[in-house]
Structure 1
Amino acid sequence: MVKLGYSLAKVGGKLSINLSKIGVGNGGSLPGYVLIKLGGEEALSKLASEMKTGAVMVTGTNGKTTTTTLLIKLLSSDVQIRKSFENNTINSIGTGLLKQKGDLGVFEYGIRNMKYGIPDTIQRLINPIGVVYTTISQEHTQVAGVKNPFSEYYKAKKLLSAGMKRGVVVTNCDDPRTALIGLEKEKDVTVNYYGIAIDEIEDDSAISIECPKCGKPLNYSKNFLNHRGIYECECGFKRPEPNVKLTNAEFGIDNWKLTIEGTVFNYIVKKDVSFEVEITVPPFGFHNIYNTLASITAYATFTPKIENIETTIKSVFNNLDMSFIPPGRFEVVDVGDNKFVGLGQGDNGDALKINAMFMKQYIDGPFEFIYTTPDVDEEDIFYDHYDVIKNMNPDHIIVVPGRKSIEKAEEYCEIIRRDFDEVDFYPLSYDEMAKRIEKLTSLALNSRYNYVIMSGCGEEQAMWEEIKKNMIKR
């Protein structure tokens, strides 16, 4: 009866595939939903176990989709894989497993809290051979109307790999929070770390965070990007040495040349493999250097064709263009008449900082910041955002509600007015998204400033992509 129930659930899921054509990330969530609805969560576990090699999960705060996209490009060159991205839920994993063939899977998985993210359940059901961590910082401090403390958010991220007894954890050693996850997992599985090993990248306005192990302030000898860098604590916690690292970089106007080298444990062939590559990529921002390192480390860890590592990395990255950036992410649009508008989501302080650093490459005079605010109970995100705004020191600021509460957005605006004289507030309704998009487009295009940055909270894809389209159509 159990086998019959699973077979019926699998057939039902497959039959629903034609109804799931609408949706991002390779087909939406409907087939996975049908599978689990008919066969329960254990049907997902049985389906995942049909992959002879296993699944690799990608999680973090920022960079999940980009890292997953790049990893899929790399691994697909060597082996047939099952995959899902952007629709990063339990149902979308089921959809990816149903729709595709292959013995290896790559699945993006976003986790905002333990209740809705169910990371320990996902780990048990999927039994991944790999978990890839990008970076962890504050975001979405309110989930389903309830404040979600950062400690709980961090714990939820850790739970995705906590139960692993096989495989490899791939994690960012420059981020103290993801580094600690790796150090704590070394007793159970192999850990491959990635990080930066050059002096050319330095974040002068970086923040120092508390030690994730003991809570005391960390001491940084170098800051690469926000809280990422080389650090140590008096409790003994310190940055692990990276297995894969950026060892040289030449930053040009039209392209960047990056040298990446490493030695990792490859889970498939069960031995260490070494490589060194020089790649030429678009000038895609320092944050995408980390996404590049994460995807390359994971690829070298899980490819069955270790002899292809250097050739495949060069082939993928040397032919990369900016289209690999997921929808809604920050881009700078040349709208003509020597005017540049940088816009895209920045739902947490780390993301907004990255957007600001990217925009600074274009600013050559007075500029305006159109800031879309967080919501009620998201004061932590606001103050992280505000540190970025103050560091940029714009000549004019426009404040717009980025989420539901107009009243809270006005409160945030009043705080900004304490430090800045040139501040305007527009109470645009979140529920009237078409009008909001039209007005934000108009504010940017009709700004008296040649340089405009528009970022903060909001619809992660729809709003930003529609505004970009309006800019390009002009």
Structure 2
Amino acid sequence: MNLRHLMAIGVAKTASRMSRLIGKQGQNLPGTIGLRLSPGILRDLSAQVKQHTVMVCGTNGKTTVNNLLADVTEQNGYQVVVNRTGANQRDGITGSFILASRGGKIKADLAFMESDEAWSRYTIRDLPVDLMIITNLFRDQLDRYGEIDTTVNFLLEAISHKPDMKLLVNGDDALCVALAEKSGRPYDTFGVEEPVLDHLADETREATYCPMCDQKLHYDFYHFSQLGHFRCSCGFQRPDIDYKITDVDLSDGLKFHVNGQAFAVPYRGFYNIYNMAAVIAAMDILDLRRDDLARQLNQFKPRAGRNQEFVIGNTRLILNLAKNPAGFNQNIQSLLGDDTAEKVLIGINDNEPDGRDVSWLWDVAVDRLKQTDVRDIITTGARGADMALRLKYDGIESHYVPQLTKAIDQLLADEPEVGYVLVNYTLLDTAYEYLTSLARRTQ
């Protein structure tokens, strides 16, 4: 470790401590400073990881998969570097390594790095990645990425920089499978072997047409969005899955088998089964210790604001992220399976992390809300009025409360038994903090 690197690390860590003192998380800042003072710092620090470096990409689920991998491997005795906070561009990933270093050294067996898809093609050059996980590919932030093909091309460029890297992809996603095929890299797949969801509607499906020949894809059945058992007359089809998910039971948490082994977790959301399967598969592919994996998955706590429950007085509130059509539709799917849900708050902002273009709201299957027992819908946020208009277009009444905390107060006003708070990125932390304070106050 040269003197320039050591100086950069020292300055970056000092800046991070000062940032935290004024209430900031301080993960991007040390990376920004470190790279400015010593451009090769990420390459040199990451090269010290002893065993494996994993990059996790995909539209939905990458934070959960990344953090879960870090949690279970740490519990199994591995030393780990991870970007837990979701700082997933080059500065944030560099900051994770800087903050994990001691005297310019990284004493880690494994590194797990969630990466923004657009940034992956740059960041991967400085990381010794030997496994890339791609959770799924849905439409996300149209103003930033454009159409989904752009995201696929970003990832293909990233993969091209690592000729010896393996891929682990969602085998139920035609876009993921096509990407893996086009990359020429060896790949493994995870997927659900049987129909699970009864409530199927016309959702936005990114791979309605074959990504190999542009003909219309045929599906034996869908799970949600474009995920399902697909095939095309050109010969492209869902592969024989390496990590088969079977015996799915959504009645009390999530119960399922992967290649015959039973797993159970206490939280909701069918999509989380894909996240669990990605972790189970990665642990096997990398030949990591996993004797107690079923218990460790059962004890995992999702990141704050991801399917998190709060008890406030006599009301149970579920907070979750809804940032794109696929994620929003899965939240509606959860409502369809919860006959206790009475009220819903939907918060939409259009700040830079959210994406300025909110036209994706028109791709959400909001008409399915009519099939739920929800009696009251509130919208909030900078684009809450747009959300209210979207609902009205499908004949669903709602009322708009501009300020998030006041909207939450109104949600709780008549003490519903169960309510849902569904928000996009820049409303999530505020919602989490306010709900946490209310829950403490009413204990």
2:362 is matched with 383
Secondary structure, aligned partner of 2:346:
strand
Quote the residue 1:465 is aligned against: 432
CA distance in 2, matches of 1:78, 1:348: 37
Question: In the aligned structure 1, how far is the partner of 2:21 from the partner of 2:209?
Answer: 43
**Backbone CA RMSD of aligned residues:** 3.1
Does 2:321 correspond to 1:345? yes
CA shift, 1:458, in A, is: 4.8
- Partner of residue 348, structure 2: 373
Return the letter of the residue paired with 1:350. Answer: A
Aligned to 2:104: none
Q: Render the CA deviation track for 1:361-400: whole Å, top value 9, x for unaligned.
A: 33247x4433323649634411123546556565443332
Q: Which amino acid in structure 2 is aligned with residue 138 of structure 1?
A: R
Matched, 1:419 2:394: yes
Distance in 1 (CA, whole Å) between partners of 2:438 and 2:266 is 22
Displacement after TM superposition at 1:221 (Å): 0.6
- Distance in 2 (CA, whole Å) between partners of 1:332 and 1:360 is 17
CA distance in 2, matches of 1:232, 1:398: 41
Matches within 5 A, 1:282-361: 282-303=266-287, 305=288, 308-309=289-290, 311-318=291-298, 320=299, 324-337=301-314, 339-361=315-337
Q: Deviations over 1:247-276 (max 9, x none)?
A: 2234443x5432212xxxxxxxxxxxxxx5
Aligned partners of 2:361 and 2:387 also within 8 Å: yes
SS in structure 2 of the partner of residue 278 of structure 1: strand
Q: Distance in 2 between matches of 1:239 and 1:259?
A: 20
Secondary structure at the counterpart of residue 259 of structure 1? strand
Q: Which residue of 2 aligns with 1:91?
A: 91
Decide whether aligned partners of structure 1 residues 22 and 211 sit closer, same or farther in structure 2, where only a CA change above 3 A counts.
Answer: farther
Q: Does the C-alpha gap of structure 1 residues 194 and 411 become closer, same or farther in structure 2, counting only changes over 3 Å?
A: closer
Q: Pick the aligned partner of 1:104 from 84, 106, 110.
A: 110
Q: Distance in 2 between matches of 1:456 and 1:388?
A: 18
Task: Tell me, yes or no, if the aligned pair for 1:399 and 1:413 is still in contact at 8 Å.
Answer: yes
Which blocks of at least 5 consecutive residues in structure 2 are unaligned?
102-106
Q: Where does 1:157-306 land on structure 2 (aligned, <5 Å)?
A: 157-185=155-183, 187=184, 189-202=185-198, 204-205=200-201, 207=203, 208=205, 209-253=208-252, 255-261=253-259, 276-303=260-287, 305=288
Aligned to 2:364, the other structure's residue is in SS state helix
Say if 1:83 and 1:106, in contact at 8 Å, map to a contact too: yes
3-state DSSP of counterpart to 2:426:
coil
Q: What is the deviation of 1:453?
A: 3.1
Give the 3 Å change call, closer, same or farther, for CA 381–169 of structure 1 in structure 2: same
Residue 34 of structure 1 aligns to a residue in which SS?
A: helix
Q: Classify 1:388/1:158 alpha carbon distance in 2 versus 1 (closer, same or farther; 3 Å).
A: farther
Q: 1:254-304: CA deviations, max 9, x gaps?
A: x5432212xxxxxxxxxxxxxx5222321432111111001111111224x
Query: Contact between 1:252 and 1:283, CA under 8 Å: does it hold in 2?
Result: no
Give secondary structure in 1 for the equivalent of 2:228: strand
Please state how far the C-alpha of 1:160 moved relative to its aligned partner. Answer: 3.2
**Percent identity between the aligned chains?**
19
Number of aligned residue pairs: give it. Answer: 425
Contact kept in structure 2, 1:169 and 1:190, CA below 8 Å:
yes
Q: Do the aligned residues in 2 keep the contact of 1:353 with 1:388 (CA within 8 Å)? A: no
- Native 8 Å contact 1:206 1:227 kept in 2: no
In the alignment, structure 1 segments of 5+ residues that lack a partner are 262-275, 429-435
TM-score of the two chains, using structure 2 as the length reference: 0.84
Separation in structure 2 between the aligned mates of residue 463 and residue 26 of structure 1, nearest angstrom: 14
> Which amino acid in 2 is paired with 1:446?
A
SS in 2 for 1:461: helix
